[in-house]
């Protein structure tokens, strides 16, 4: 059977998300389980989103809008741009794969940093094999080293992925540094800014949103998602902003009916919920500050974060720590796959869930 498989697929290491709550409950028969592994917004979606999805239920026998027409136009209005500059996908992941498949030619490479979102590696390897993926060293502050990234740009470089803020470290490249980098990159390289956590950034005035730049350059794509601050991770909706010529090529690879009726309706309703966004971001700042302090008081090294998660270093074997925490009903994310084997990523949840995590972490560390 192996001989029948595309050799690029054989080089892939599958993406492994955090363990599902249901599976952990079956394994250990736990009464309370706190999932802090997947950077989800813990707050339930607003009622207008629930109502919008419920209205679609009676239409589930029909295909959705093929190009997410109403959602795409509302996203454009929300961002102050034209609908021709927006494409909607089943989460940012689908758009990442579409970008690689559209622009990466044989012999060309995808460039990013070490210690960043795994789907860049997976998508590049899927399309071009291991040799198509290049990583620049990450800075000692766990931030993208933009000079190191630029130094690796060569004739083979086709796509440059930048997660900002970065997953899993939570660090952010400031606006001027990012703009200086973009300006230096030749037009025959595609730059992709993955802004999944943009709404959580503490100081938006210093954040490189870059959507205006994306309209005026033929090699810049900005990714956004409804999975994080909008609390729609279970429905899979993301979008890209780019020059209309870039999107015309991406649309050639867009699967038909790629975003479900429920997802389109929910995302459309979510764009009316500015209060929910502000509330989620505000509570995240408050709960993250407390969680950060609790981890520091335990003697942990913790990376200051611009997102809804923290990366910390417990100083013990993270595989064993993770297994022990699972038995206590805590789901977090060890970072071996991200190239940070000494690190743990924990989502900022409800205050009571964060406290429960700290309680169990303290217990397990004392046992270890």
pLDDT 10s per residue in the chain (368 long)?
877 677 777 766 766 666 666 777 777 677 788 999 999 999 999 999 999 999 999 999 999 999 999 999 999 999 999 999 999 999 999 999 999 999 999 999 999 999 999 999 999 999 999 999 999 999 989 999 999 999 999 999 999 999 999 999 999 999 999 999 999 999 999 999 999 999 999 989 999 999 999 999 999 999 999 999 999 999 999 999 999 999 999 999 999 999 999 999 999 999 999 999 999 999 999 999 999 999 999 999 999 999 999 999 999 999 999 999 999 999 999 999 999 999 999 999 999 999 999 999 999 999 98
Domains of the chain in sequence order: 18-44+274-367 (3.90.1150.10), 47-270 (3.40.640.10)
Q: Which pLDDT does position 29 carry in this prediction? A: 73
Q: Which pLDDT does position 3 carry in this prediction? A: 72
Give the start-end residues of each E strand in the chain. Answer: 34-35, 86-89, 109-113, 133-136, 157-163, 190-194, 220-225, 238-242, 301-303, 309-313, 330-331, 333-334, 344-347
CA gap 45, 18 in Å, rounded: 21
Is the sign of the CA dihedral 193, 198, 202, 208 positive or negative?
positive
CA gap 365, 368 in Å, rounded: 5
Scored b (16 or more CB within 10 A) or e, 271-299 reads: bebeebbeebbebbeebbeebbebbeeee
CA gap 188, 220 in Å, rounded: 10
Whether the predicted model's global pTM rises above the 0.85 cut? yes
CA gap 14, 93 in Å, rounded: 14
For residue 339, is it left (φ>0), alpha (ψ between -120 and 50) or beta?
left
Nearest residue to 131 (alpha-carbon basis) of 165, 103, 156? 156
Other beta carbons less than 10 A from residue 61's beta carbon: 6
Nearest residue to 340 (alpha-carbon basis) of 151, 147, 113? 113
Hey, is 364 helix, strand or coil?
helix
Distance, CA of 63 to chain centre = 27
CA gap 119, 135 in Å, rounded: 13
For residue 226, is it left (φ>0), alpha (ψ between -120 and 50) or beta?
alpha
**Greatest extent of the chain over all pairs of C-alpha atoms, in Å:** 59
Q: Which pLDDT does position 15 carry in this prediction? A: 67
Q: Looking at the DSSP assignment, which residues form a beta bridge with residue 189?
A: none
Q: Looking at the DSSP assignment, which residues form a beta bridge with residue 60?
A: none
8-state DSSP, 101: H
Give how far Cα 70 sits from Cα of 66, 320, 322, Å. 11, 48, 43
CA gap 349, 363 in Å, rounded: 20
Q: Which pLDDT does position 106 carry in this prediction? A: 96
Q: Which pLDDT does position 30 carry in this prediction? A: 75
- 42-47: which pairs have CB atoms within 8 A and are 24 or more residues apart? 42/347, 42/349, 42/350, 42/353, 43/231, 43/276, 43/279, 43/280, 43/283, 44/231, 45/230, 45/231, 45/232, 45/266, 45/270, 46/269, 46/270, 46/273, 46/276
Distance, CA of 179 to chain centre = 21
Q: Which pLDDT does position 240 carry in this prediction? A: 98
Q: Provide the token pair at 305.
A: 């974060």
């Amino acid at each position: 059977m192996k001989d029948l498989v595309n050799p690029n697929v054989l080089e892939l290491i599958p993406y492994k998300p955090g363990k599902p709550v249901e599976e952990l409950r079956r394994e250990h028969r736990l009464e309370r389980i706190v999932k802090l592994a997947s950077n989800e917004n813990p707050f339930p979606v607003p009622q207008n989103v629930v109502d919008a999805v419920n209205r679609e239920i009676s239409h589930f026998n029909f295909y959705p809008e093929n190009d997410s027409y109403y959602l795409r136009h509302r996203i454009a209005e929300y961002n102050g741009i034209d609908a021709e500059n927006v494409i909607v996908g089943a989460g940012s992941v689908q758009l990442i794969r579409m970008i690689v498949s559209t622009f990466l030619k044989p012999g060309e490479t995808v460039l990013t940093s070490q210690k960043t979102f795994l789907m860049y590696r997976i998508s590049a390897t899927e399309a071009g094999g291991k040799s198509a993926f290049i990583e620049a060293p990450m800075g000692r502050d766990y931030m993208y080293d933009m000079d190191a990234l630029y130094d690796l740009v060569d004739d083979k470089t086709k796509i440059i992925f930048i997660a900002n803020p970065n997953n899993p470290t939570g660090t952010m490249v400031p606006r001027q540094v990012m703009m200086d980098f973009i300006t230096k990159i030749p037009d025959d390289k595609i730059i992709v800014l993955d802004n999944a956590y943009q709404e959580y950034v503490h100081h938006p005035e210093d954040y490189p949103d870059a959507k205006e730049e994306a309209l005026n350059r033929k090699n810049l794509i900005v990714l956004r998602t409804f999975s994080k601050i909008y609390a729609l991770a279970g429905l899979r909706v993301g979008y890209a902003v780019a020059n209309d010529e870039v999107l015309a090529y991406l649309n050639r690879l867009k699967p038909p009916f790629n975003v479900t009726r429920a997802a389109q309706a929910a995302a459309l309703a979510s764009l009316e919920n500015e209060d929910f966004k502000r509330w989620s971001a505000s509570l995240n700042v408050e709960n993250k500050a407390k969680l950060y302090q609790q981890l520091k008081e335990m003697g942990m090294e913790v990376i200051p974060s611009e997102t809804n998660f923290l990366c910390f270093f417990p100083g013990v074997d993270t595989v064993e720590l993770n297994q022990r925490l699972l038995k206590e009903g805590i789901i977090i994310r060890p970072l071996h796959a991200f190239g940070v084997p000494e690190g743990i990523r924990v989502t900022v949840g409800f205050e009571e869930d964060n406290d429960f995590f700290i309680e169990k972490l303290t217990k397990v560390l004392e046992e270890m």
